[in-house]
Amino acid sequence: MKASVPLIGVALSGALAGCAPASDAPTAGGRMAARVDAIFADYASASGPGCSLGVIRDGRLVHATGYGAANLDHGIPNGPATIFRIGSVSKQFTAGAIALLAVRGELELDAPVQRYISEFPDYPEPPTVRHLIHHTSGVRDYIVLMSLAGNRSEDFYTNQEVLDAITRQRELNFTPGAEYLYSNAGYFLLGEIVARVSGQSLREFAETEFFGPLGMTLTHFHDDHNEIVPNRAIGYAPSDDGFRINVTTLDMVGDGGIFTSVEEWVAWDRNLTEGTVGGPEWVALIHERGVLNSGDTIPYAFGISHGEHRGLATVGHGGSWVGYRAAMSRYPEAGHSFVALCNRSAIDPGTLIASTAEIYLEDRMEPPEDAAEGETTDEAAEQAPEEAAADDASQDEPDLDIPNRARYAGSFYSPELDTTYRIAVEGDAGLTLHVGRLDPAALMTVSDGMLTSERGWTLRFSQLADGRHQAMMVDAGRVKNLRFARAEG
């Protein structure tokens, strides 16, 4: 199922969602559209979810098309007007709101976070608002924290519970400014800062300051999962018998949560160049890269990341949350932008739009290298929370015998998670970790005093007394050095 039109200076409307395929006439535009269709061919069937694609040149949508189904229950196709959740691609809107407040003098980027969120922990070296923007704060990722606390992907928790989890932390992953480590908690906090400084929710502020003035009438931060959204694409994940609906009941915004369409994206893309909202100072600021304490400049700016594709400078970002995937990439020197919004979890839209860009910009690009190129982004932790920190757990040494296993067994409590972990010796099966509502997970031995779970968490034990370890620390990707103490005598 594909809906496609070549568009040059044409006003788009919702009617495009069901328009006919592009003509096969041997025009340059027709040949180019056919080549793009070939890139998305695996996602064009009416029996599966797919994507909407937009190609923008000099601020105008010159090609827009849909592939696959937006809704498998009713056989509704994806098209340029279909509304998608875009995951971490949302971060540029949150950072844009912060930048707008900073340009207006209502907020200081180098002020400590605690100035705006009074309950934020009083760390010896406090992270600043700017640290949050560039993922250099060291603040632990809340998605991983909520998983570590025993929540499953289908569990509901509130914004206040997330804020409480963040403010319970007594340690950062690293000294602010020392490293870059992607953190959804940082952007959740930025959304809270926007609300406290402006007196409006992030959704209200974005509507008033960005979406209204730019004519993006359907784009919004989706802070109520029960809200009806006309023309919404449903998120799906592959299953043994086809596809299953894969959506969320969570209402967090800031790190994600934007709903938009290819049609409406054009106005935002244009604003990133023209600064209709914010002006030139805002445009310059949102593209400003982070700088580490060492003086090294990182690619990440304000919710967008600088890169390079076959000799052309790019600015882009990807998004990944439940059954939705999204990617945007701008080629400022070439005056082109590409956006793909998808409703199938097993899609890599960044690669798809990189291949699309090669069709439109091949005469300006350097020859391809042997290795495949494409946009690289860092939002993997937007997956289901228990998957967020998971890598392939490896077993470097044989499991310990049962007497040695006993020194790990028992309950361990973390005040930062307000959660108890129970480690059990279960017959010949070895050690098993029990946490909250999560399924029990097998533990494997890495070395003496170190175990790893099948979720990819690493448990490091210390303080051996009376034949049992009295403390442990847990590392899980974007959460490091989470401390536990034995909770039994």
CB 385 within 8 Å of CB 147: yes
What letter would DSSP give residue 428? Answer: G
Q: How far apart are CA 336 and CA 324, in angstroms?
A: 24
- Could you give the residue ranges of the DSSP H alpha helices within 201-252? 202-206, 212-214
CB 5 within 8 Å of CB 65: yes
* Active-site residue (options: 13, 47, 52, 88): 88
Provide the sign of the torsion angle of the four alpha carbons 225, 14, 264, 87, taken in this order: positive
Q: How far apart are CA 258 and CA 84, in angstroms?
A: 8
Q: Please choose, from the candidates 229, 230, 225, 234, the residue with its C-alpha nearest in 3D space to the C-alpha of residue 70.
A: 234
Q: Phi and psi dihedrals of 15, rounded to 5?
A: -65, -20
Per the structure block, which two tokens stand in for 445? 């031995």
Tell me the three state secondary structure of residue 31. helix
Q: How far apart are CA 79 and CA 41, in angstroms?
A: 15
In 292-418, at which residue ranges do the beta strands (DSSP E only) sit? Answer: 305-309, 312-321, 324-331, 336-342, 410-414
The answer for residues whose C-beta is within 8 angstroms of residue 132's C-beta and 6 or more apart is 113, 139, 183, 186, 187, 189, 190
Helix (H) or strand (E) holding 267: helix 262-274
Q: First-to-last CA distance in the chain?
A: 63
Q: How far apart are CA 180 and CA 182, in angstroms?
A: 7
Tell me the three state secondary structure of residue 22. coil
List Cα–Cα distances, 275 to 93, 254, 259, 430, in angstroms.
Answer: 13, 21, 21, 60
Burial class (CB in 10 A: 0-12, 13-18, 19+), 73: exposed
Tell me the three state secondary structure of residue 47. coil
Q: Is there a catalytic annotation at residue 88? A: yes
Q: How far apart are CA 144 and CA 371, in angstroms?
A: 32
- Active site positions, annotated: 88
